Structure 1
Amino acid sequence: MKKLLVVILLFFGFKNLYSQILTLDDLKPKELYNSIRLSYMLVDQPVDKVSYALQPKMGFIGLTYNIPINEWLYTGAGFHTAITGDQGGLFTLGVTLGVNFPVYKNLYFDANVHFGGGGGYRTLVNGGGILYPNIGLQYKKKGYSFGVQYGYMNFFTGIQKDDNISFFIEIPSTLRTASYEKAQKEFVVSNITKDKIWKKPGVRSVQQITFDYFFPRGNSRTDASTNPSYQQIDNTLSVIGFEYQRYLNENTFIYAHLDAMYAGLTAGFMDMFIGAGKNFIETKNVNFFAKFGIGAAGGRIFPEGGLTIYPNAGADIKFSDRFGLSIHGGYHRSILGIASFQALTAGFSLKYYSLSGGIEDPFTGKKASKIRTQGIQVGVQNQSYYDVAKFGIPNSDLQLIAIKIMYDINKRFYVMGEASFAYEGKSGGYAHGIFGLGIRSNKFANNKLSLFAEASGGVAGGGRVDSGEGILVRPTAGVNYHINNDFTINVSGGQMWSPFGNVNSTNFNIGISYGISMLNAKK
C-alpha cells in the first residue's frame, strides 16, 4: 500500500512539473514597427522683444521615438535641443501624436502635434511649455524615410515662438515583445515553433548607468548666474548619465547618451549625444573600445550654440553574461562657441548586456535554450509640485511632464527611471532625472487595483529652482488602476526634497503606463 501511495505521489508530482514547463508555443509574440526620427529646423529669435544681445536664429534638432497605434495613427516621445545660436542648454522633453498615410506610391502625408516642457533662456520660455504642430510630406523606402514639414514652434508660456520649415530622416526600429501578463516567466526553446517570428535573429544591446567626472580646461566659463558672472571654471564637475547601445555587427554599435550634473556648479547642466563606437580588442571577460558622439550640451556654462562633441575610450570587464563594469575617459568639447567649454573626463559605468527579440544571436548564429520574459512599463505623467523654493524669483507651483520607465525585478519589486521637464510655473528649463526602487502589491478589487510605493533620488536643476548643486530625493506612494493586462492608470503623491538646497515640496502625479514583456534570450 505504501509503495502504491509513493508511485501515485510521484506520478502527480511529475505531471505537475511537466505542466509548468512552458515552450515558445505558449508565448504569443508581436512585432512593433517603430521608428526613430531625427529632425532639424532654424528658428527665428525674438530679438526685438528683449533688452540684451541675442543671435537672430537658433538651430534646433529633435530626436523622437515613434510607435504606431494603427496603420495611420502613431504616438511617440522625445527630446529637442539647441545646437547653434547662443542658447546652448535649451532642452525639451515631450510626447507626440501624429497621423501618417500614403498619398501616392511611396509618398506619405505626415502631420503631428508635439507637447512638452523645457527651456534654456528662462526669459524667453517663461514656464517652459512647448506646443509644436507640424504638417508635411514623407518619402519612404524599405522602412527608411526622409521628409519636410511646416511647423509652428510655440513656447506658449513665453515669447519664444516662430513658424519654420523642418527636415527629418527616419530609421526603422522593430521591437518584438509579448503581453505584460507573460512577464517574469521562462519559456523553453523547442526545435519546432509555430510562429515565424522566432526564425528572426534577436537584437544585441547594452544599457548602462554612467558616473563621470569633468575636469574643465581652456576658456571654460560659467553663465551669468554666478557672482561675478562668467567665471573661469576650475573645479571638478560630477555627472550622472544613461546610455543605450545597439550593435550593428559583432563589434560595432550605435548609441544614445544623456547626462546631468549633480555637483560642481549650480544645478542645470545637461547634455545629449548620439554616436557610434567599436570594440577593438575582445576576450571572454575584457573588452577595449572607442566611440565618438555628437550632440548638444549647456546650462550653467557660458551661453553658446550648444553643439558638442564627445570622443571616449575605455575598457569593459564582464562579470557574467548579463552584467559588467566599464572604466573610461574622454574629451567633452563645445564647438562653434566663444568660450567653448571643454573638459577632460574620467569615470565608470554599470552595464547590462541583453539579447532580446529572438532566439538566435544576430552575428554568431548561436541559439538560446530559453526565453526569459522581462516586464517593462513605459509611462507618461503630469506631475504637480507645490510651493517650490526658488532663488532670485518668488516660490511657485510647478507643472512637469515626465517620461517614466519601470523595469521589473520580479512580480513584487522593480527599478524605475524618470525624466521630467517643467512646462508651467515660471521655471522653464527646470528638469530632473531620477532612479529608484519600487514595490507593488497584489491586485485586488476584481484585479482592477494595486498599491505601490517608490523611493528614488537623482539630479535636478535649472529655472532658478533652489536645488543647490542638484541632488534630489523623492519618495512617493500611490494606486494603480488596471484598464487591462497592458494599460494602467497611475495616481500617486509624495515629497520632493533637495538636501543641499531649499526645495521641500509636496508632489501629486497622475499618468498612464503601457506594459510589455521583452523577450530576453538565455543560454
Structure 2
Amino acid sequence: MPLSYSYSNFENRETTIPIEDLKDTSWDTKSHRISAMVHLNNLSVEGDSQFSDGTPIKGRTIRLAGFEFNSFLNDNWFYFVKADGAYSGIPAGYMDIFIGGGYHLSMNKNRTNIQAKFGIGAGGGGGVDTKGGFLIYPDLSIEQKIYDNLYVSVNKGFLMSPNAHFLSSTLGVGLKYYIEKDGIQIDDATAKESKFKGIETIIKQDWYIDANRNGGFSQDMHQISLQINVFLNKYIYGAGQTSFANFGDAGAYAEGIVGLGVQSPLFLDRKVSVFAQVLAGAAGGGGISTGEGLIVKPSLGTNVKLTNNLNLRGGFGYVKARGGELSSVFANFGLTYDFSFLSAK
C-alpha cells in the first residue's frame, strides 16, 4: 500500500488543472499507477474438500464478494492485496485475504489488458476446513476498457491449500478503475489532462441495537469500522468498508461491504455536510444470524468540519441479512480524514 503521497485539500476535488500550470512544479514527475476493483468470485469446490465436521463440500459453489487493490512497480510488474467474504453457498462466516504480485500486459492501444498473478494468504470460516488456513491463489484475468479509466475484468484460476486439502477453481467478474497519480509524466510523455480526485478515510464505531443471534435471542453488538470513499464526481462516491466486532459477545463477527453514496455541499458557514449511502456485501461469524452472509446496510449521517482535513462524523441506519434473522437499527460515530490527489491522463 502506498504510504507516501502528494495531496491537496479535499475541497479541491474535481478541480481541473491545466497541464501547463503544473510544469516545472513538484507535480512534474513520473506518475504512479494504481488500480482498485470490486468483484464477484465463484469458488467451485473440488477434490476432497470438506466442512470441519467431515461433510464433503465437493460440487458446491461458494459465492464471494470482495475488493482488490493493485500498485504498480513499473509498466508491467505490480503487487496486490485482495480480500473477499462469502455471501451465498455455505453458512455465513467464510472470508479470505491475499497479498501477492503479478505481471500486466497491455494491447489494443491499452484498451485490453491481460494479468497473471500469484497470491498467498489465509482463509476460513463458514464451517470450511482449511486446516491451518494457509491458502495460495494463482489467477489469470483479461480486462476490457468500457469507459475512460474503467475496465471490466474476467478472471479464472484456483484457490487452494498447498496440499489440496481444500481445492476450488475460481471464476469471477469485476469492475476495475485505473488511476495515474502524483505526477503528470505518463509512459515517458506529458499527460493531456489532470484533475484532483477526492478521498475520505473514516474510522468509526458502530452500535447494532438488539442484533439477532443464532439461537433465537438478540443482544447489542459493537464493531470498529474502516471505510474509504473515492469520489466519482464532486458529490457521488464509491465506498468500501471493513468492520470487526469488539464488544457484545460477537468476537469473530466481521463485515466486508461496498456501495455508493452521495454527499451534500458544505453549509452552515461551510462547516457541515450530510450524506446518504447504501452498502452491501458479506458478513458473518460471532453467532450473528446472517444466514449465508449477504447483508444490506443503508444509512444517513452528518459531517462536521474541524480542520481542512479532519471531520467529526455521525450517522444512523438499518442493517438486514438476506436469509438470516439479523434486522437491526444501528448508529455510529467517528472521525474522517479527507484529501485530494492529482489524477492525470
Normalising by structure 2, we get a TM-score of 0.94
Specify which of 82, 101, 112 is matched with residue 257 of structure 1. 82
SS of residue in 2 equivalent to 1:174:
coil
Q: Of the candidates 129, 132, 135, which is equivalent to residue 302 of structure 1?
A: 129
Residue by residue over 1:457-497, the C-alpha shift from the partner in whole angstroms, topping out at 9 and shown as x without a partner, is: 22111111111111111111111111122111111111111
Which segments of 5 or more consecutive residues in structure 2 lack a partner in the other structure?
Answer: none
Match of 1:275 in 2: 100
- Contact (CA 8 Å) 2:64, 2:282: kept in 1 or not? no
- Contact preservation (8 Å) 1:321, 1:353: no
- Aligned counterpart, 2:50: 221
Residue 327 of structure 1, aligned match among 148, 151, 154: 154
The correspondence for 1:355, drawn from 152, 162, 180, is: 180
Equivalence for 1:293: 119
> What is the SS of the residue equivalent to 2:312?
strand
Match of 1:175 in 2: 5
Pair 1:192–1:476, CA change in 2 (3 A): closer
Question: Which letter maps to 2:77?
Answer: T
Cα pair distance change 1:191/1:425, threshold 3 Å: closer
- Report if the CA contact (8 A) 1:438-1:453 is conserved: yes
Instruction: Kindly report the root-mean-square deviation, in angstroms, between the aligned alpha carbons of the 2 structures.
Output: 1.8
Q: Out of 244, 248, 252, which is 1:429 matched to?
A: 252
CA–CA separation in structure 2 for the residues paired with 1:329 and 1:191: 44
Mapped partners of 1:358, 1:192: distance in 2: 9
The one-letter code of the counterpart of 1:291 is K
* Secondary structure of the structure 2 residue equivalent to 1:427: coil
Q: How many residues align?
A: 342
Given that residues 334 and 340 in structure 1 are in contact (C-alpha distance below 8 angstroms), is that contact kept between their aligned partners in structure 2?
yes
SS for the counterpart of 1:185 is: coil
Q: Which moved more, 1:198-207 or 1:406-415?
A: 406-415
Q: Whole-Å Cα distance in 2 between the matches of residues 191 and 475 of structure 1? A: 42
Identity %: 32
CA distance 1:290–1:193, change in 2 (3 Å): closer
Are 2:271 and 1:444 aligned? no
The code of the aligned residue for 2:224 comes to I
**What per-residue deviation string (whole Å, max 9, x for no partner) do you get for residues 428-469 of structure 1?**
111111222222233222222222222222211111111111
Asked if the contact 1:490–1:513 (Cα under 8 Å) also holds between the matched residues in 2, the reply is yes
Q: 128, 134, 138: which one pairs with 1:311?
A: 138
Query: Could you tell me how far apart the structure 2 residues matched to 1:515 and 1:206 are?
Result: 20
CA contact (8 A) 1:297 1:334 kept: no
Which moves more between the two structures, 375-384 or 184-193?
184-193
The Cα shift of 1:173 comes to 3.8
1:232 corresponding residue in structure 2:
56
CA distance in 1: counterparts of 2:195 and 2:249, whole angstroms: 46
Shift of 1:513: 0.5
Q: Secondary structure at the match of 1:190?
A: helix
Larger Rg: 1
* Structure 2 match to 1:410: 233
Per the alignment, residue 32 of structure 2 pairs with 203
Give the deviation of 1:193 after TM superposition. 4.1
CA positional deviation for 1:198 = 1.9
Q: Which position in structure 2 is the counterpart of 1:70?
A: none
Aligned match of 1:478: 301
The within-5 A match list for 1:39-438 is 173-190=3-20, 193=23, 195=25, 197-223=26-52, 229-234=53-58, 235-280=60-105, 282-284=107-109, 285-300=111-126, 301-302=128-129, 304-335=131-162, 340-361=165-186, 364-392=187-215, 394-438=217-261
